[in-house]
Amino acid sequence: MRKTAKGKLIPYMMWPLLLTAWWLLIDALLLLVSEKAALIGLIATVLYFAATFAMYLLRRRSILKDYVAFSMDYGDVQTKLLADLELPYAVLDSEGSILWRNTSFDGACGRATSGMNFRDLVPDVKAYSLPKHEAEERVYRAKINGRMYKVVMQSQDSPEFDTQLRAISKATSVKLQKTVSVYLFDETEVTALRQENYDSRLVFGLLYIDNYDEVLEGFEEVKRSLLTALIDRKITKYMQNIDAVIRKLEKDKYFFIFQNRYLPWIQQDKFSLLYDVRSVNVGGSSEVGVTISIGLGVNGKNYEEGYESARAAMDLALGRGGDQAVVKDGEMITYFGGRSESIEKNTRVKARVKAHALRELVETKDNVFIMGHTNPDMDAIGAAIGVYRIVKHCNKNAYIVLNEVNSPIRPTVNNFLGNPDYESTMFIGAVRARELAKEDDLLVIVDVNRPSITECPELYDIIKQVIVLDHHRRTTDSVDDAALSYVEPYASSACELVAEILQYIGDGLKLRPIEAEAMYAGIMIDTNNFLTKTGVRTFEAAAYLRRNGADVSRIRKAFRHDKEEYLQKARSIAGMEMYLNDYAFAECNSDGVESPNVLAAQIANELMEINGVKASFVFTMFQDLVHISARSIDELNVQVVMEKLGGGGHMTVAGAQLGGVTIAEAKQKVKDILLSMLEGGELK
């Protein structure tokens, strides 16, 4: 094979010949001194060139041979060093086949890997995972032969080890144009230490008994002690399973800490302590079971942040009605439980305190803006009107933000529009509200606790002080910086909460009849004519509104259906289907119906009157969104189902809105959720 010199070797070998030019220049200078001296110099230059050229021709082959021998020896040393390197190393072709590997690589893999494909050896590295471009580097972590490695892969167009790869090419008859170098860095110990550090982190927990006083009222003094002891025993035994340290803060409040290593088990167990405590019974007149709420703060940067996360999780659990566990890991929040209905509180102390606080806030402001959720229903409008009366009673300016008057609320709103007893600015749109609002005004949000779905979300950003009056369970994006928050999931409606507050405002505040009727209608609609979510306080609120002039006959006439809506309701019920033998699915055609989402809610209520139906789901297309109305009695928490679709609500009344899907696709989403809950043991 013919060998030719190249690179920097050529000028190195030819430099004696190149000096001839220097001697010719000297000869030219000698000519200026003497012709005889110039002739002697020329003869010497010619003899020098001839001798040098002869030496170059005679010794060139020998020099190249010695150079190649040195290169081969150097390559052998390089290959030996690479082969004996403790760092596992291999060379792959562009398809992932192992062309060459050192001894350490086979040792790391626990077998001879010659000819194997690296993707078969490490399944985590797929075909598309190999680096393709020159100098591209990719890093993976994989388990090989029982140990954890960081896999570093580098692509190169020009081979990094010429001698070695030339031998590989000759042996395999493969022309190597692109190769991938693979390095394995053993991280087993580092990974184990990192996992141990993660597992040893402390998880902070709070545990509250939701209805301690309400349950104990039905027991004798002796049995109260026994019940308390049984509850403590259940809690203590459960905490022993996770090696937790628990301390009782108050008669119904506990604080505990445990290591992060037990958190996956608790989540897989779905916080069975919730159900264990609920099953405690020593016999008594109380028919209400004990329920608890748990809040966990996970992966806080320090102990204080972990505890604050636990408190925030507990606030969410209580705000959603209790009887559930909430895990807060940074911004990620996970819910467990929540199968039982919220317990109605017998005391009105909280309502009185909230009423006094609300009045104090209103009296410090000149302008108060009131708004509910988008597409407001009678509960939102009724509650807003009740708050409007409180503000006007304090001689302050009040504005109810309302963008569109839909059919369910039109009869009520028309009673106020053009009424000489009310200002023309009682109802304003979102655009006008943004123009009037100032930072030091007051914003009251009713019948919703999520700013993103209010009539004017921008007001929440403009106005600094916010009051929330709502009966829906809290969600992840609920208002968390309210100056006053009165969120009670046990309440039947926002109108019920506002009616209680009205009774404690003082100074002889009295509702006008049309205002009382608006609030009474809100309670009627949200309770399906007092059939769902009604308690003692619901009827007491209704009685208060009746005393203020609410006429039930006028309300019934105002909210009767027209013929087309009634026929559409009948068609939807007739076309329903059953899923998993327990869940009713129906569609509501929106053609010719002004507010199909409201009609869908009514259809969902009607379906629950059918024997054997555990929950109903009604779907309708409205304003390019699929609206889902979900209802149940006590066998399914429909709020959990709707939250998985981005919605929310109550255990028995919930809903969601889906964009970019058809009704058929929305149905399938709900079916998939129900099936997964059934397989996961979340359904009865």
CA 416 to chain centre: 42
Give the per-residue pLDDT at 471: 87
Report helix angle 349-363 to 494-502, nearest 10.
Answer: 80
- What three-state secondary structure class fits 657? strand
Number of CB atoms found within 10 A of residue 64's CB? 15
Q: Clarify whether residues 217 and 166 are in a common domain.
A: no
Q: Clarify whether residues 238 and 208 are in a common domain.
A: yes
Q: Clarify whether residues 456 and 542 are in a common domain.
A: yes
pLDDT tens per residue across span 205-257: 999 998 887 777 767 777 888 888 889 999 999 999 999 999 999 988 999 99
Distances in whole angstroms, Cα of residue 326 to Cα of each of 329, 474, 626: 10, 11, 29
Query: Does 253 map to a domain?
Result: yes
Give the per-residue pLDDT at 341: 53
Q: Cα angle at 350 between 229 and 647, to 5 degrees?
A: 85
Query: Does 1 map to a domain?
Result: no
> Which two tokens mark 54?
């002869």
Give the per-residue pLDDT at 1: 36
Query: Does 575 map to a domain?
Result: yes
Q: Clarify whether residues 356 and 500 are in a common domain.
A: yes
Domain boundary among 36, 63, 83: 83
For residue 491, the 8-state DSSP code is S
Give the per-residue pLDDT at 170: 47
For residue 450, the 8-state DSSP code is -
Distance between CA atoms of residues 292 and 280, nearest Å: 12
Specify the residue for token string 């797929």. Answer: 126
How many domains are there within the chain? Answer: 5
Query: Does 684 map to a domain?
Result: no
Give the per-residue pLDDT at 171: 47
Phi (first) and psi of residue 448, to 5 degrees: -165, 145
CATH code for position 117: 3.30.450.20
Q: Clarify whether residues 285 and 375 are in a common domain.
A: no
CATH code for position 288: 3.30.70.270
Query: Does 342 map to a domain?
Result: no
Distances in whole angstroms, Cα of residue 285 to Cα of each of 223, 289, 340, 539: 11, 11, 19, 23
Q: How do 179-186 and 147-156 pair as beta strands?
A: antiparallel
CATH code for position 391: 3.90.1640.10
Specify the residue for token string 């087309």. Answer: 564
CATH code for position 650: 3.10.310.30
Ranges of beta strands (E only) in 233-349 are 245-250, 253-259, 292-298, 324-329, 332-337
Query: Does 2 map to a domain?
Result: no
* Residue 49: exposure state from Cβ atoms within 10 A (0-12, 13-18, ≥19): middle
| Cβ atoms of residues 371 and 459 within 8 Å | yes
Query: Does 222 map to a domain?
Result: yes
Report helix angle 378-393 to 349-363, nearest 10.
Answer: 60
Contacts of residue 402, defined as CB under 8 A and 6 or more positions apart, other chains included, come to 371, 376, 381, 413, 427, 428, 429, 455
Range of 618's domain? 563-679
Distance between CA atoms of residues 554 and 532, nearest Å: 22
Contacts of residue 35, defined as CB under 8 A and 6 or more positions apart, other chains included, come to none
Contacts of residue 27, defined as CB under 8 A and 6 or more positions apart, other chains included, come to 38, 41, 42, 45
Q: How do 484-487 and 253-259 pair as beta strands?
A: unpaired
Handedness of CA 460, 462, 465, 467 (dihedral sign): negative
Distance between CA atoms of residues 318 and 640, nearest Å: 15
Q: Clarify whether residues 512 and 604 are in a common domain.
A: no
Give the per-residue pLDDT at 518: 94
Query: Does 247 map to a domain?
Result: yes
Below-70 pLDDT ranges, the chain:
1-15, 17, 56, 59-85, 123-129, 132-135, 157-177, 218, 282-288, 338-348, 684
Rg of the chain on CA atoms, in Å: 41
Q: Clarify whether residues 216 and 329 are in a common domain.
A: yes
For residue 575, the 8-state DSSP code is T
> Which two tokens mark 626?
């699929």
Q: Cα angle at 196 between 193 and 201, to 5 degrees?
A: 130
Domain boundary among 166, 194, 222: 194
Q: Clarify whether residues 356 and 447 are in a common domain.
A: yes
Q: Clarify whether residues 667 and 531 are in a common domain.
A: no
Distance between CA atoms of residues 469 and 316, nearest Å: 16
Give the per-residue pLDDT at 448: 92
Ranges of beta strands (E only) in 93-223 are 98-101, 137-144, 147-156, 179-186, 202-209
Q: Cα angle at 364 between 358 and 365, to 5 degrees?
A: 95
Domain boundary among 164, 194, 224: 194
Q: Clarify whether residues 172 and 204 are in a common domain.
A: no
pLDDT tens per residue across span 152-201: 888 876 444 444 555 555 444 445 557 788 888 888 888 888 888 888 99
Q: Clarify whether residues 204 and 147 are in a common domain.
A: no
Q: Clarify whether residues 328 and 225 are in a common domain.
A: yes
Task: Supply the pTM of this predicted model.
Answer: 0.59
